[in-house]
Structure 1
Amino acid sequence: MKTSRLDPVVLTIGFAFLYIPILLLVIFSFNASKLVTVWGGFSTHWYVQMWQNQGLMDAAWITIRVALLSATIATVLGTLAALALTRFTRFPGRMLFSGMIYAPIVMPEVITGLSMLLLFVSMNIDRGFWTVMIAHTTFTMCYAAIVVQSRLVTFDRSLEEAALDLGCPPVKTFFKITLPLILPAVIAGWMLAFTLSLDDLVIANFNTGPGATTLPIKIYSQVRLGVTPEINAACTILIAFVTVGVVIASLMTKRAEVQRQRDERAAMAQ
């Protein structure tokens, strides 16, 4: 298939449009000047100031706690949902169940956040840390389910059947055979859920309450009063966290694919 000479130009412009603003933000986070648009020399002063900003640090700690808890619960539930969809192809309500699992992917975050808010209000639940955690678990679970399901679709079930034939109980078979083989996909799903929770603003903003301000909400509220070099430093660290999470998730997914190909070759050799 022939490619046009215009394709690299369009691709370059697209990537520049996306990543040059992020690169400028990272560069100006090392700016010695108080003016974020005027370069005053290289300095890490604002990173020191950021660590001494108790409001930012509290928001960051809340964000990490929410991300850790919601990603873990979302991965467990997403793995169970993926097992149900791949192992039980026919059961009453399967289409509805599948649609409910994948709905948060195509649903705007505003709708998800508002619907969760109405749920908590109708149940007379005070908004705070736990409501943000539940909301993040709800919308990240579908991503973990997709990653794990993609591995289970190509999973060689003859290994499980052999263990069951030898008298291994189903639960023990899952933990001894199935889980170790799909573990890279499970970890990749967890990393993806963690990353999505870490940088979410819209859903958290709908469901947060007193004492549960996450880092994205804190940054957004301060930016409305004017961008400061401390915000640039905090955003740079957040970008680094998200980048590391995405890279690790990609590597885990690639490793899972390589392992799947090895399993297929081993099965064919037998």
Structure 2
Amino acid sequence: MRRFSAINVTAVALGLAFLYLPIAIMVIYSFNASRLVTVWGGWSLQWYAALLHDEAIRDAAWASLRIGVMSATLATVLGTLAAVALVRMGRFRGRMLFSGMVYAPLVMPEVITGLALLLLFVALDLGRGVWTVTLAHTTLTMCFVTVVVQSRLVSFDRSLEEAAMDLGCPPWKTFLTVTLPLIAPAIAAGWMLAFSLSLDDLVIASFTTGPGATTLPIRIYSQVRLGVKPEINAICTILITVVALATIVTSLVAKRDAARRDRAALGAQL
């Protein structure tokens, strides 16, 4: 068994400190009783209570939740259909163009994506608001759902579908009753990933937002530019907690799905 040397341990510790120490400091200072964010005044929950009376923050949080749920749902539906098309339809005409368009947001800078969507909405004369941000986030997150669901479909045992169709089940019913339940963990993981990405997005939302559609990251950014208030630490801590929980749930669902596939493969071999 390979032991960790002092250099390796030091490098790992410095790397983790560089990544997570600022977040830990922000979380600790969200419980600071002092109004000065750099001066520790004892433990207190007053800034979390103050958030309940901040109407602007509440409206922004509600807008982010609505947009996150709607965009994640649309992205999950479209991403699942795109994954099915890429895995099951073979090498159809235009497949390379289709896959390139689906995966483009993965490698394209968010500034370019946001500007392109803004120009599209202006050309279509769409008033910017909740729906334009929802469509923009759907465009951003659909590719991530496609990747997650496609990886599950690639390793899917199609003999189960063939057995169902041999027993007289039509293709559409086979997909709904056999395929869909078996890939449901991957779809759920894709939804959680899309939701967390939508909840955390700032760049694309800033290009496509309008009156009444100020998301929580935009509100936080606009307030930070005028100076960091203790309430900002509190709302950022809540946002980090929600995103972390979504990430943990996604990871657990993916691991459970992988363990289920391994048990099924082992049972088939026996």
Which residue of 2 is the match for residue 41 of structure 1? Answer: 42
SS of the residue corresponding to residue 41 of structure 1 reads coil
Q: State the alpha-carbon separation in 2 of the partners of residues 67 and 210 from structure 1.
A: 18
Which residue of 2 is the match for residue 15 of structure 1? Answer: 16
2:123 is the counterpart of 1:148: no
Percent sequence identity is: 64
2:55 is the counterpart of 1:73: no
Which residue of 2 is the match for residue 98 of structure 1? Answer: 99
Which residue of 2 is the match for residue 191 of structure 1? Answer: 192
Deviation at 1:4, TM superposition (A): 5.6
Q: State the alpha-carbon separation in 2 of the partners of residues 94 and 4 from structure 1.
A: 49
Q: Which consecutive segments of 4 or more residues in structure 1 shift more than 3 A?
A: 1-5
- Residue-by-residue CA offset, 1:233-264 (whole Å, 9 max, x unaligned): 00000000000000000011111111111221
Q: State the alpha-carbon separation in 1 of the partners of residues 235 and 219 from structure 2.
A: 10
2:126 is the counterpart of 1:125: yes
- Residue-by-residue CA offset, 1:189-240 (whole Å, 9 max, x unaligned): 0000000000100000000001100000000000000000111100000000
SS of the residue corresponding to residue 189 of structure 2 reads helix
Query: Can you give the 5+ residue segments of structure 1 that lack an aligned partner in the other structure?
Result: none
Which residue of 1 is the match for residue 227 of structure 2? Answer: 226
Q: State the alpha-carbon separation in 1 of the partners of residues 93 and 5 from structure 2.
A: 50
Which residue of 1 is the match for residue 26 of structure 2? Answer: 25
- Residue-by-residue CA offset, 1:10-50 (whole Å, 9 max, x unaligned): 12111111100000110000000000010000000000001
Deviation at 1:5, TM superposition (A): 4.2
Which residue of 1 is the match for residue 88 of structure 2? Answer: 87
User: TM-score if structure 1 supplies the norm length?
Assistant: 0.97
Q: State the alpha-carbon separation in 1 of the partners of residues 7 and 87 from structure 2.
A: 43
Mapping for residues 226-245 of structure 1, pairs under 5 Å: 226-245=227-246
SS of the residue corresponding to residue 181 of structure 1 reads helix
Q: Which letter maps to 2:31?
A: F
Q: Aligned pairs, how many?
A: 269
Which residue of 2 is the match for residue 268 of structure 1? Answer: 269
SS of the residue corresponding to residue 156 of structure 2 reads coil
Q: Which letter maps to 1:80?
A: L
Q: Which letter maps to 2:37?
A: V
Q: Which letter maps to 2:249?
A: I
Q: Which letter maps to 1:257?
A: A
Q: Greater CA deviation, 36-45 or 251-260? A: 251-260
Q: Greater CA deviation, 53-62 or 79-88? A: 79-88
Q: State the alpha-carbon separation in 2 of the partners of residues 6 and 102 from structure 1.
A: 39
Residues 105 and 4 (structure 1), Cα distance of their counterparts in 2 relative to 1, 3 Å cut: farther
Q: State the alpha-carbon separation in 1 of the partners of residues 54 and 82 from structure 2.
A: 41
User: TM-score if structure 2 supplies the norm length?
Assistant: 0.97
Q: State the alpha-carbon separation in 2 of the partners of residues 253 and 110 from structure 1.
A: 30
Q: State the alpha-carbon separation in 2 of the partners of residues 4 and 104 from structure 1.
A: 40
Q: State the alpha-carbon separation in 1 of the partners of residues 123 and 142 from structure 2.
A: 23
Q: State the alpha-carbon separation in 2 of the partners of residues 141 and 231 from structure 1.
A: 30
Query: Can you give the 5+ residue segments of structure 2 that lack an aligned partner in the other structure?
Result: none
